[in-house]
Amino acid sequence: MRIGIIGAGNIGGNLTRRWTALGHEVRVANSRGPETLQDLAAETGATAVPVTEAAEGAELVVVTIPEKAIPSLPKGVLDGRAPGAPVVDTGNYYPRQRDGRIAEIEDGMPESAWVAKQLGHPVVKAFNGIYADHLLGRGLPAGTPARIALPVAGDDEEAKAKVMALIDELGFDPVDAGGIDESWRQQPGTPVYGADLDADGVRKALAEASPERTAEWRA
């Protein structure tokens, strides 16, 4: 599959490593330009590109940059993707440590609904609650007991199914977490976040989540 990754940090870098190892063709971009990604390109065989070219021809695009940087992405950054290509949002809102105040999220908009609004395109929320190094090293074959499960939320069922298949291929159990309206159930501060649960554990944690943002996760 041809995959475009916008953001080449902890998550973008490790998705590049895993997907190239699985034989996918990856184009990866950061904010500073492809010349700063030559080590990652040499290590993985991915193609480092300017951010405006990351989505070109991609059958899947992943946006994996700090929440506060989303509005600064160039207009039309997703335009070149292949028809029907899902856009994955891995992001989390960290108002205190990193992102500052984002009023609509503070007022209750799910983080991924806000991201989709900024991008002008629906997103599938995935990978937001697993540590980057676990994403790199803790994938297991399907059927292995205690295989880590990852919740996947989105309104486009076809797009969500494609993302879930890729998650299974990466070594994790995908769990359908409903639509973007329900995606607060996997945000920072919820029981599933960072917990490395198996599929039953993820379903239980999603069901037990509270929509209230705790003080720790407010600006």
Ligand X SMILES: NC(=O)c1ccc[n+]([C@@H]2O[C@H](COP(=O)([O-])OP(=O)(O)OC[C@H]3O[C@@H](n4cnc5c(N)ncnc54)[C@H](OP(=O)(O)O)[C@@H]3O)[C@@H](O)[C@H]2O)c1
Query: Closest CB to ligand X among 158 and 216?
Result: 216
Nearest approach in angstroms of CB 213 to ligand X is 15
Query: Closest CB to ligand X among 35 and 158?
Result: 35
Query: Closest CB to ligand X among 188 and 201?
Result: 188
Is residue 62 a contact partner of residue 90, using CB atoms and an 8 Å limit? Answer: yes
Query: Closest CB to ligand X among 50 and 108?
Result: 50
* Long-range pairs for 145-149: beta carbons < 8 A, 24 or more residues apart: 145/198, 146/198, 147/171, 147/172, 147/173, 147/198, 147/199, 148/172, 148/173, 148/196, 148/197, 148/198, 149/173, 149/174, 149/175, 149/197, 149/198, 149/199, 149/201, 149/202
Nearest approach in angstroms of CB 90 to ligand X is 4
Binding site for ligand X (CB under 6 A): 6-12, 29-32, 51, 64-67, 69, 72-73, 90-92, 127-128, 130-132
C-alpha–C-alpha distance, residues 27 and 5, integer Å: 6
Nearest approach in angstroms of CB 143 to ligand X is 25
Give the sign of the dihedral formed by CA 158, CA 163, CA 168, CA 169: positive
Query: Closest CB to ligand X among 130 and 163?
Result: 130
C-alpha–C-alpha distance, residues 164 and 116, integer Å: 19
- Structure token pair of residue 96: 């205190």
Nearest approach in angstroms of CB 120 to ligand X is 16
Nearest approach in angstroms of CB 118 to ligand X is 11
142 CB neighbour count, 10 Å cutoff: 10
Residue with nearest beta carbon to ligand X:
9
